[in-house]
Amino acid sequence: MLLERLKRETRARHDRLEALAGLPASRAQHRALLEGLYGFVSAWEERLAKLLPAADPLRAGREKTPWLAKDLECLGLDAEARAALPRCTEAQLPAGATRAELLGVCYVLEGSTLGGQFITRHLRERLGVPEGEGDRYFRSYEGDVGARWREFGVELSRHSSPENDELILRSAAETFDKLADWFVARREARAV
């Protein structure tokens, strides 16, 4: 099955990203994580909106930028402050030119909703973040996370073929790498 292969073949890249982004140990790290995600996700979703109609299964009800904007607003960043945050350039985003490549990128971003459930618990238990005060992105689809993931899996399977599978895998790997590179660049910029 393609989902199992994606998980297996991108594991090292996923682990690298997880080590870079990590679980926030403070509220300041939580905010920095959300700012970094906003810079990547908002730029990606803008590009995706130019490529696919709103009703496409890869977009319909899957936009995450509003969740990130809500979280950042809860943490004190109004629209003007969010607009001033660094955002990925076209070169810093994954390619995503074909449907198969778009599926590879979406595999990474949709997969993050699964891990978000763990992060939400961490925010509550370790950082004392109350529900609705900077955790919306990680709560994602809330009680529908499993169902939304299965829907994505169906869409992925519909487009699975030997040729497409290779493109999807390469695109997912590239997305993990680009996202990790983005977090490295953000960390380096904050250190200056």
Q: What is the pLDDT of residue 21?
A: 87
> Looking at domain 2-191, which CATH architecture does it have?
Up-down Bundle (1.20)
Q: What is the pLDDT of residue 188?
A: 85
Return d(Cα 186, Cα 141) in angstroms, integer: 27
Q: What is the pLDDT of residue 128?
A: 94
pLDDT digits (tens, 9 = 90+) for 150-190: 999 999 999 999 999 999 999 999 999 999 999 999 988 88
Round the average pLDDT of the chain to a whole number and report it.
95
**Residue in the structure block whose two tokens are 């696919």:** 52
Q: Lowest-pLDDT range, 44-48, 103-107, 128-132?
A: 128-132
pLDDT band at 67 (very low <50, low <70, confident <90, very high): very high
Query: What percent of the chain is modeled with pLDDT above 70?
Result: 100
Phi, psi values for residue 94, rounded to 5°: -65, 160
Phi, psi values for residue 86, rounded to 5°: -60, 140
Given a cut of 80, whether residue 192 has pLDDT beyond it is no
Q: Amino acid identity, residue 90?
A: E
Q: What is the pLDDT of residue 64?
A: 98
Instruction: State the pTM of this model.
Output: 0.96
Query: What percent of the chain is modeled with pLDDT above 90?
Result: 92
User: What's the residue count for the chain?
Assistant: 192
Give me the mean pLDDT over the 98-121 stretch.
95
